């Protein structure tokens, strides 16, 4: 049996595309192993799938000054050694990397062992981990056509983002039961990313009275961000994080307010759910979410509200107006080309494995 090692972690966005590929890879006859950090969130997402999980040492790749930067290079070197030992034992024909700091030691160790590596970059500009990984990669899959301007053209292929089949299999009634909702009002879903967003949480809760007059609100607020004083409020349900329940929540949702992570907005597009995007600022990130959101807005899929404008914006009114224009957004999303991302990536994997 052919063996593949997958890697990626740190946030859900560096794991869920791998999860979308795993069932199809199994059907194609691949035995899958996963390398992640010892205690990263990727471990909690991958292990329930029954995939053998291997933990390695990993340092965080930071763009800012921090005393941890002194010892993290040693963690990365230890991670390369850990990954080398695991890969030499497993002898995979292929490594597929979704990025995140844990992936860098795996990609370097793969190069040392001459194992072909395919990496996937979701954003228009590559993250630091993928920037470091690109020289060692055989091929680079990207979500946005614009990403080709920032990567070696001879290696880069536009595939789109793999979407988990389970995302399309939600049951709206199960979602309503989970949240205690009815069919009387439309459902507004709030997402601040897998780690939550204090700024979005704060703004939504400040506008909650106005929003509840028009919507039922399901709020994915991030671990540690549940507001106990709002528990039991009629028409409002909050969760620190959801995984298996997410398809049911998607199925009942009429509109979304979210950050602009590429994997999340690719799912909104595939599900054709109207959305208002509040991207991370350049102070909080390298500006990738701003570029993602602007690309979606140009195509007519999204409305953008920049975080810097939150304080002087009537957020509730903007959400209501976006919802009122929902049919225009839905029509644009329906007209978007379907990229068949999973099939494209599987074909690329098969071709690279032959070589």
pLDDT digits (tens, 9 = 90+) for 301-330: 999 999 999 888 999 999 999 999 999 999
Quote the CA–CA distance of 169 and 232 in Å, as a whole number. 28
For residue 71, the model assigns a pLDDT of 64
**Strand pairing of 302-304 and 275-277?**
parallel
Residue 344: CATH number of its domain = 3.40.50.2000
Res 67 pLDDT > 70: no
Same domain, 329 and 344: no
Same domain, 266 and 344: no
Same domain, 129 and 23: yes
Same domain, 140 and 248: no
Other beta carbons less than 10 A from residue 195's beta carbon: 15
Phi/psi for 254 (5° steps) reads -100, -25
Same domain, 155 and 195: no
**Rama region for 91: left / alpha / beta (φ>0; ψ in -120 to 50; rest):** left
Same domain, 304 and 185: yes
Same domain, 294 and 345: no
**Which residues contact residue 102 at a Cβ distance below 8 angstroms, ignoring those fewer than 6 apart?**
7, 8, 9, 10, 35, 36, 37, 40, 42, 56, 58, 79
Model confidence pLDDT, tens digit, residues 159-178 = 999 998 899 999 999 999 99
Same domain, 321 and 183: yes
For residue 197, the model assigns a pLDDT of 81
Quote the CA–CA distance of 2 and 32 in Å, as a whole number. 9
Mapped onto helix, strand or coil, the DSSP state of residue 40 is coil
Same domain, 293 and 326: yes
Once rounded to an integer, what is the mean pLDDT over residues 182-208? 89
Residue range(s) defining the domain that contains residue 323: 166-334
Same domain, 90 and 216: no
Model confidence pLDDT, tens digit, residues 230-288 = 998 999 999 998 989 999 999 999 999 999 999 999 999 999 999 999 998 887 777 89
For the chain, the domain total comes to 2
Same domain, 175 and 281: yes
Once rounded to an integer, what is the mean pLDDT over residues 60-78? 65
pTM of the complete model: 0.85
Same domain, 207 and 275: yes
Give the pLDDT band (50/70/90) at residue 128. confident
Model confidence pLDDT, tens digit, residues 93-126 = 999 999 999 999 999 999 999 999 999 999 999 9
């Amino acid at each position: 049996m052919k063996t593949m090692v997958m890697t990626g972690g740190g946030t859900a966005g560096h794991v869920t595309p791998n999860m979308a590929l795993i069932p199809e890879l199994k059907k194609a006859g691949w035995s899958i192993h996963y390398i992640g950090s010892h205690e990263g969130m990727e471990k909690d997402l991958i292990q329930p799938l029954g995939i053998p999980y291997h933990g390695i040492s990993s340092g965080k790749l930071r763009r800012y000054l921090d005393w941890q930067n002194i010892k993290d290079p040693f963690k990365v070197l230890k991670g390369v050694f850990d990954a080398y030992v695991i890969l030499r034992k497993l002898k995979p024909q292929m490594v597929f990397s979704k990025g995140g700091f844990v992936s860098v030691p795996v990609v370097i160790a793969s190069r040392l062992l001459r194992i072909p590596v395919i990496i996937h970059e979701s954003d228009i500009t590559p993250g630091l981990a993928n920037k470091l990984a690109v020289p060692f990669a055989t091929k680079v899959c990207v979500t946005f056509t614009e990403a080709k301007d920032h990567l070696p053209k001879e290696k880069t292929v536009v595939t789109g983002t793999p979407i988990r089949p389970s995302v399309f299999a939600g049951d709206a009634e199960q979602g309503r039961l989970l949240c205690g909702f009815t069919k009387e009002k439309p459902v507004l879903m709030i997402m601040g990313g897998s780690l939550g967003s204090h700024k979005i949480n704060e703004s939504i809760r400040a506008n909650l009275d106005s929003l509840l007059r028009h919507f039922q609100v399901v709020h994915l607020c991030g671990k540690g961000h549940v507001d106990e004083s709002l528990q039991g409020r009629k028409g409002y349900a909050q969760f620190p994080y959801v995984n298996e329940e997410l398809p049911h929540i998607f199925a009942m949702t009429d509109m979304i307010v979210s950050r602009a992570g590429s994997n999340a907005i690719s799912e909104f597009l595939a599900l054709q759910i109207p959305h208002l995007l509040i991207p991370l600022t350049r102070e909080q990130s390298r500006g990738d979410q701003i570029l993602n959101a602007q690309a979606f807005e140009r195509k007519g899929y999204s409305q953008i509200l920049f975080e810097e404008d939150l304080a002087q914006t009537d957020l509730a009114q903007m959400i209501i107006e976006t919802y009122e224009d929902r049919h225009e957004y839905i029509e644009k999303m329906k007209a978007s080309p379907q990229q068949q991302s999973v099939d494209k990536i599987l074909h690329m994997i098969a071709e690279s494995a032959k070589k």
